[in-house]
């Protein structure tokens, strides 16, 4: 069955697999995909002017069908750069989910207490900042501080999309934050650099920081680019073992701007089971941790 139909857009990145495999392993009840995106459809929710990429449409219906296929009951939908500060597609997806999905927003200097409250009422629970060069590089420090001040009263956290090489330099600033923070995609470190790389050492120090979380998502982004991305497994294992109560897992569907093999989301589930063979740890990462951080009932 195909879960993806390309809309008449002018995309410059590839679509996800039309027919992902079914996982060999059954996910536990309440399992959460803690990092995924919704794109468009562009004729209903136009893409932002000045965006850094144009994706093929990946609407809510396709995302929900994928989750049903994989056995995922909950999700965290992350606002994509291609939609900019217009959160209409995100809020529509959260409303259609009937409370099963939460959201992560992209906020800028124009964010206000009232606009953040509207997002909160729609199911958003975090703000994301991109530090990676291909999405514009590090944010303006004044904007960063402005957003932190707005989200702190609502109990939100930050999601940080960083390049692993900058983690050691960023760490002192992160440790001073008044809100919890999540490092997306294992800091986009490079598996080829080894488990003893400065980026991995910086990530592992977060085990001693109560407000720090890490997403063991994006295994394809840290590995060589060839399925099933086995080079990333030791990094997932090390992080889950170091901080099992503050790790999250996600598919990163529909995998925007992937340079290597397009991930098979069924394989991603099975790869996580291989990296995390302990059922108690899987329960934490897949169910309990996202429920606690994102406020699922």
Question: Which residues belong to the active site?
Answer: 252
CB 282 within 8 A of CB 273: yes
Phi–psi pair at 93, nearest 5 degrees: -65, -45
CB 33 within 8 A of CB 78: no
- Rounded distance between C-alpha atoms, residue 73 and residue 10, angstroms: 32
- Helical ranges in 20-123 per DSSP H: 60-70, 88-96, 113-121
User: Number of C-alpha atoms within 13 angstroms, CB side, residue 97?
Assistant: 31
- Helical ranges in 206-259 per DSSP H: 219-222, 233-242
Helix (H) or strand (E) holding 203: helix 198-205
């Amino acid at each position: 069955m195909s879960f993806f139909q390309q809309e008449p857009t002018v995309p410059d990145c590839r679509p996800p697999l039309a027919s992902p495999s079914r996982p060999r392993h059954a996910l536990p009840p309440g399992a959460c995909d803690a990092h995924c995106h919704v794109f468009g459809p562009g004729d209903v929710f136009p893409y932002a002017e000045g965006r850094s990429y144009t994706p093929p449409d990946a609407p809510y219906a396709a995302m929900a069908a994928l989750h049903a296929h994989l056995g995922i009951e909950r999700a965290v939908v992350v606002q994509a750069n291609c939609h900019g500060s217009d959160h209409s597609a995100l809020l529509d997806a959260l409303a259609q989910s009937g409370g099963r999905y939460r959201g992560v927003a992209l906020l800028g200097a124009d964010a206000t207490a009232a606009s953040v409250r509207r997002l909160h009422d729609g199911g958003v629970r975090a703000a994301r900042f991109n530090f990676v060069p291909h999405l514009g590089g590090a944010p303006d420090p004044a904007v960063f501080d402005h957003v932190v001040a707005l989200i702190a009263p609502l109990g939100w956290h930050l999601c940080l999309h960083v390049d692993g090489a900058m983690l050691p330099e960023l760490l002192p600033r992160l440790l001073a934050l008044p809100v919890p923070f999540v490092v997306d995609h294992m800091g986009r470190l490079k598996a080829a650099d080894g488990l003893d790389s400065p980026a991995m050492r910086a990530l592992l120090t977060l085990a001693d920081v109560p407000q720090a979380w890490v997403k063991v998502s994006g295994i394809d982004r840290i590995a060589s680019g060839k399925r099933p991305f086995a080079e990333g497994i030791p990094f997932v294992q090390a992080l889950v073992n170091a901080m099992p109560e503050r790790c999250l897992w996600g598919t990163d569907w529909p995998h925007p701007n992937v340079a290597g093999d397009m991930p098979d989301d069924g394989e991603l589930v099975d790869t996580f089971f291989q990296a995390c063979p302990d059922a108690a740890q899987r329960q934490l990462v897949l169910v309990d941790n996202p429920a606690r951080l994102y406020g699922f009932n």
